[in-house]
Chains A and B, each alone.
Chain A
Amino acid sequence: MPSSADLSRTGRVRLLAVPGLVMVLALVLVPVLALGARTFDSASLFGVWSRPGIVDAIGFTIVETILSTAVTIALGLAPAWALSHHSMPGHRFALAVTTVPFMLPTVVVGAAFLGLLPGSVERGLVAVVIAHAYFNVAVVIRTVAPVWATIDPMLVSAARNLGASRTRAFVSITLPLLKPALYSATAIVGFMCATSYGVVRMLGGGNATLEVEVYRRAILFGDIAGASTLAVVQLLVAAICLLVWTGKDRVVFTNAGHRSRRRDHPVARVVAVIATVVTVIPLVALVLSSMRSRGHWTLAGWRLLTSGSNVPGLRLDLIDVLSRSLLFAVIAAAIAVPIGIATSTVSSSRSTILDRVLLLPLGASAVAVGLGIVITYDSSPFDFRSSWWLTPVVHAVVALPFVIRVIQPVHSRIPEHLRSAAATLGASPLRVWATIDVPLISGAIRTAFGLSLAISLGEFGATSFLTRNDTDTLPIAVEQLLGRSGDLARLAGHAVAVVLLLATLIALAFTTRSRHSWSAS
């Protein structure tokens, strides 16, 4: 129930939702729908569904999404529990490392991952599910752990004392309390898996998701009308899923006032170590592969990066690319974080519909968004097509749902009576916000900033479609180098990938406080 102070603020507070909504509208909804409208023809609208492969793609998308999401959630629970229940030296490192795969472009980790799959796992459904779990487990950890940390251990002990088994206590006490966080994680992981492109193309063994099918139709067949039909339908389905989902996902914190004491649990320690090691192996393989060629150790790839390469065909100015990537990341974070704070202010006191709408970019086809932006902003005074700032702005839209997931739970836990007290003492709403809200969410802001940086550094979806004027970012440099044959091309490509890996790791490690996860406080 909103308090009376709350109601009086509501009108103005609602305005804070505007920037986030405008961004999603302007950079996702309008472009995709404009693409659909521009290329619309009734023949494609119906005809595209009878194309060979479409039905298979829909089937594969559904099966792959359900399996991948279920496996990811199941695998993520143990590390989420471990990382929410104790703090050990290296906790922050463990959190950062398990998040890294989610942030890196598939081509980078995918290849290392491919090399480590046992020979018996052929390309196909199983490989796709394993890879999705590897890439997305971070979402479960980051979403579930902070909620788990707030569950009062007394509740579980009480149940155990009354004779409940461990399983029973988990199922009837812990699980219901985790439900909102699990819903949230399921929505994000589901969207990530349903719109997966790189993993499916690399490991799918000929299977396609709808996203791959959109790409094929638009780029390989040149059937943009068919592709945009699929993309619009995909967006509608995503929107319907979000609407249906809303309402079941109200984050309720039963003990919002106090946090549980963290017990150091030996099993938790083991689980955390295992999760870290499993995540680290492909990353280490990547680092080693940047220094190993034909059975020899070599720094040739790294030298190429540091000497300002003038090797013909492998032109690369690492400092230039790295500084541009960092600049873009800072801009993206500087846009996403304030909008995320504004949105959280609205959605913490209201329902989470808004917060769900802002998830929509994750369910949209990157190909359609990229092509849509090109045709939407193509005439003066809105000819933004080759504006350099378009890239970081799109990064910000991608980062936004994650930023909100960091800030909103913390913000919603601020007791209303603190604000009321300040208001009673004569503080203006802005003053209340600045002196009460901001200090209490400052930790979350820091984490959100780090996540935005990491997401921007690794983004390789819609933005790879935007035409750039000498604006290569790290993932694009990797792609360029790995498009050439020869040892040096491979070594340098992997070395740039390692730079990207390190930059991401640093962004995450410096902004993640130990103890609390996605949402630091």
Chain B
Amino acid sequence: MKTRTFALALASIAAATTVACGSDDSTKLDVTLTIVAYESFTPPEGIFDAFTDETGISVRIVAAGDAGEMIAKATLTAGNPEGDVMWGVDNTLLSRALDADVFDPYVSEVDGLDPDLVATASNIVTPVDYGDVCVNYDVARLEELGIDPPTSFDDLSSPEYRSLLVVPSALTSSTGLAFLLGTIANDPDGWQQTWSDLRDNDVLIVGGWYEAYYTEFSRYGGDRPLVISYASSPPAEILFADPPLPEGSPAPTAVVTSTCFRQIEYAGVLRGSEHVEEARALVDFLVSTTFQESMPESLFVFPANELAKLPTTFATYVQPVTDPLVMDPATIAASRDAWLEEWDAIVG
């Protein structure tokens, strides 16, 4: 492709010129950084103003699709990225990005960053938040049925909970995949049995989280009181309740904490960015307490910075998940395809 080589040559000349000019002029004004994010990245309006005021760097966000779609595009455009910083690659996808050499290594050293999370990041990216995918249950419906909430994966296969659980498919939903990984982390050698027991106990598998939560879950008119969702769903059920719930009432849904699989999200500097220094400063801002404290209520995730304070709704209504199921990105990468095929054969 001749034109392409020519274009690249032009681009590198342009880049060289820019760098040369940059060294003459030490102010960083007029740089606009682009954050590439998944579609549901909705930080509060104006949150980047503080960053722009301090550094003179403007920030714009470009977004499309879910994290999987974002990574598929990023691997195809590695080295010639659509932006400078990527937000939201998670531990189920990270190794794919690393294999394709999508990132220019940078780990932020901002105070308070959870070292356990940093340890999962392969020294290439910076953890920005985490959340848990867990079995959620409809408190009122279980009470009506006179059934105690389940407390473990094994409970889900007992006759008491027959035909009560709905799960998004691991083959078409990232939430479904996280739940599958949770069952594997819980019992690396016997997870196949867990699933054949679930199947025999009439688990319902649907396409995506939306169908599971909003059409089959009993809180939204379905007839299944157990659903795979997030640890942050119960606080959202209070925050967004309509009609509003009386002050101080308990959340209408709750989480089976022993089933929680931890999803960690990372931000990284995209290899090929022309503004590496500025991009690193932006990653630092993303893990600063200013940004991190805004995340729970706008993105429904937990801050990776331990110094960030949780908003009251979160502090009050989130059940602490003290011992989540975790899995190393490299382990996930090594076996995911085989696991999915095995899973499909069991439940398909």
Residue positions of A touching B, CB distance < 8 A: 35, 38-39, 52-53, 107, 111, 114-115, 123, 201-204, 206, 208, 212, 215-216, 218-224, 293-294, 296, 298, 300-301, 310-315, 371, 374-375, 378-382, 385-386, 464-470, 476, 479-480, 482-491
A293-B243, A484-B236, A490-B214 known; A206+B348 contact, CB < 8 A: yes
Query: In the bound complex, do residue A114 and residue B4 qualify as a contact, i.e. CB atoms below 8 Å apart?
Result: no
Query: In the bound complex, do residue B243 and residue A296 qualify as a contact, i.e. CB atoms below 8 Å apart?
Result: yes
Query: In the bound complex, do residue B298 and residue A315 qualify as a contact, i.e. CB atoms below 8 Å apart?
Result: yes
Tell me the minimal C-beta distance from A373 to chain B in angstroms: 10
Query: In the bound complex, do residue A467 and residue B62 qualify as a contact, i.e. CB atoms below 8 Å apart?
Result: yes
- List residues 44-74 of chain B with CB under 8 A from any CB of chain A: 44-45, 60-66, 68-69, 71-73
Query: In the bound complex, do residue A107 and residue B298 qualify as a contact, i.e. CB atoms below 8 Å apart?
Result: no
Leading 9 A-B pairs by shortest Cβ distance: A486-B240, A488-B240, A312-B297, A487-B242, A201-B207, A485-B233, A219-B68, A486-B236, A485-B236
Tell me the minimal C-beta distance from B118 to chain A in angstroms: 24
Tell me the minimal C-beta distance from B71 to chain A in angstroms: 7
7 additional contacts (CB under 8 A) given A374-B82, A484-B40, A486-B239: A206-B347, A212-B172, A216-B172, A294-B242, A467-B62, A467-B64, A491-B242
B209 partner residues in chain A, CB cutoff 8 A: 483
7 A-B pairs in the complex with CB atoms less than 8 angstroms apart = A222-B72, A313-B299, A313-B300, A314-B240, A380-B11, A385-B77, A488-B240
The segment out of B17-25, B141-149, B257-265, B336-344 that lies at the interface is B336-344
Closest to B233 in A: A485
8 Å CB contact of B62 from A201, A206, A294, A469: A469
A318 to B225 alpha-carbon distance, docked (Å): 33
Tell me the minimal C-beta distance from A57 to chain B in angstroms: 11
A204-B207, A374-B76, A465-B69 known; A52+B345 contact, CB < 8 A: yes
- List residues 1-59 of chain B with CB under 8 A from any CB of chain A: 4, 7-8, 10-11, 34, 36, 39-40, 42, 44-45
A107-B210, A312-B44, A469-B60 known; A485+B229 contact, CB < 8 A: yes
8 Å CB contact of A52 from B71, B215, B336, B341: B341
A464 partner residues in chain B, CB cutoff 8 A: 64-65
B345 partner residues in chain A, CB cutoff 8 A: 52
A221 to B344 alpha-carbon distance, docked (Å): 13
Tell me the minimal C-beta distance from A201 to chain B in angstroms: 4
A111 to B214 alpha-carbon distance, docked (Å): 9
8 Å CB contact of B220 from A375, A470, A490: A490
A212-B172, A313-B299 known; A468+B236 contact, CB < 8 A: no
Closest to B100 in A: A222
A202 to B68 alpha-carbon distance, docked (Å): 18
Q: How large is the interface on B (under 10, 10 to 19, 20 to 34, 35 or more residues)?
A: 35 or more
Residue positions of B touching A, CB distance < 8 A: 4, 7-8, 10-11, 34, 36, 39-40, 42, 44-45, 60-66, 68-69, 71-73, 75-77, 80, 82-83, 93, 96, 169, 171-172, 174, 177, 205-211, 213-215, 220-221, 229-230, 232-233, 236-237, 239-243, 297-300, 336-337, 340-341, 344-345, 347-348
* Among A221, A467, A483, A485, residue most surrounded by chain B Cβ atoms (within 10 Å): A485
Query: In the bound complex, do residue B221 and residue A379 qualify as a contact, i.e. CB atoms below 8 Å apart?
Result: no
8 Å CB contact of A386 from B62, B171, B344: B62
A312 to B295 alpha-carbon distance, docked (Å): 9
A204 to B345 alpha-carbon distance, docked (Å): 17
A201 to B66 alpha-carbon distance, docked (Å): 16
A470 to B4 alpha-carbon distance, docked (Å): 29
Query: In the bound complex, do residue A224 and residue B76 qualify as a contact, i.e. CB atoms below 8 Å apart?
Result: yes
Query: In the bound complex, do residue A220 and residue B82 qualify as a contact, i.e. CB atoms below 8 Å apart?
Result: no
A301 partner residues in chain B, CB cutoff 8 A: 242
A215 to B171 alpha-carbon distance, docked (Å): 10
Query: In the bound complex, do residue B172 and residue A489 qualify as a contact, i.e. CB atoms below 8 Å apart?
Result: no
8 Å CB contact of B73 from A315, A371, A380: A371
A482 partner residues in chain B, CB cutoff 8 A: 210, 214
Query: In the bound complex, do residue B241 and residue A379 qualify as a contact, i.e. CB atoms below 8 Å apart?
Result: no
Tell me the minimal C-beta distance from A229 to chain B in angstroms: 15
Query: In the bound complex, do residue A469 and residue B211 qualify as a contact, i.e. CB atoms below 8 Å apart?
Result: no
A296-B243, A486-B240 known; A312+B229 contact, CB < 8 A: no
A220-B171, A222-B96 known; A52+B344 contact, CB < 8 A: yes
A494 to B198 alpha-carbon distance, docked (Å): 32
A381-B7, A467-B82, A484-B236 known; A202+B211 contact, CB < 8 A: yes
Tell me the minimal C-beta distance from B297 to chain A in angstroms: 4
A485-B229, A486-B239, A486-B240 known; A476+B39 contact, CB < 8 A: yes
B233 partner residues in chain A, CB cutoff 8 A: 485-486
B243 partner residues in chain A, CB cutoff 8 A: 293-294, 296, 298
Query: In the bound complex, do residue A487 and residue B344 qualify as a contact, i.e. CB atoms below 8 Å apart?
Result: no
Closest to B311 in A: A312
B172 partner residues in chain A, CB cutoff 8 A: 201, 212, 215-216, 220
A467 to B209 alpha-carbon distance, docked (Å): 23
Tell me the minimal C-beta distance from A178 to chain B in angstroms: 37
Query: In the bound complex, do residue A488 and residue B242 qualify as a contact, i.e. CB atoms below 8 Å apart?
Result: yes
Closest to A39 in B: B76
Query: In the bound complex, do residue B61 and residue A469 qualify as a contact, i.e. CB atoms below 8 Å apart?
Result: yes
Closest to A311 in B: B240
Tell me the minimal C-beta distance from A227 to chain B in angstroms: 9
Query: In the bound complex, do residue B298 and residue A111 qualify as a contact, i.e. CB atoms below 8 Å apart?
Result: no
Query: In the bound complex, do residue A206 and residue B205 qualify as a contact, i.e. CB atoms below 8 Å apart?
Result: yes
Closest to A381 in B: B7
B65 partner residues in chain A, CB cutoff 8 A: 464-465
Query: In the bound complex, do residue A123 and residue B206 qualify as a contact, i.e. CB atoms below 8 Å apart?
Result: yes
A398 to B76 alpha-carbon distance, docked (Å): 24
Query: In the bound complex, do residue B242 and residue A298 qualify as a contact, i.e. CB atoms below 8 Å apart?
Result: yes
A480 partner residues in chain B, CB cutoff 8 A: 39-40, 42
Tell me the minimal C-beta distance from B75 to chain A in angstroms: 7
A294-B242, A486-B236 known; A111+B297 contact, CB < 8 A: no
A486 to B77 alpha-carbon distance, docked (Å): 36
A232 to B20 alpha-carbon distance, docked (Å): 44
Query: In the bound complex, do residue A315 and residue B68 qualify as a contact, i.e. CB atoms below 8 Å apart?
Result: no
Tell me the minimal C-beta distance from A12 to chain B in angstroms: 30
Query: In the bound complex, do residue B169 and residue A206 qualify as a contact, i.e. CB atoms below 8 Å apart?
Result: yes
Closest to B63 in A: A468
Query: In the bound complex, do residue B76 and residue A468 qualify as a contact, i.e. CB atoms below 8 Å apart?
Result: no
A298-B243, A486-B236 known; A38+B76 contact, CB < 8 A: yes
Query: In the bound complex, do residue B300 and residue A202 qualify as a contact, i.e. CB atoms below 8 Å apart?
Result: no
A315 to B61 alpha-carbon distance, docked (Å): 15
Tell me the minimal C-beta distance from A74 to chain B in angstroms: 27
Query: In the bound complex, do residue B240 and residue A202 qualify as a contact, i.e. CB atoms below 8 Å apart?
Result: no
B83 partner residues in chain A, CB cutoff 8 A: 386
Tell me the minimal C-beta distance from A108 to chain B in angstroms: 11
B207 partner residues in chain A, CB cutoff 8 A: 201-204
Tell me the minimal C-beta distance from A179 to chain B in angstroms: 37
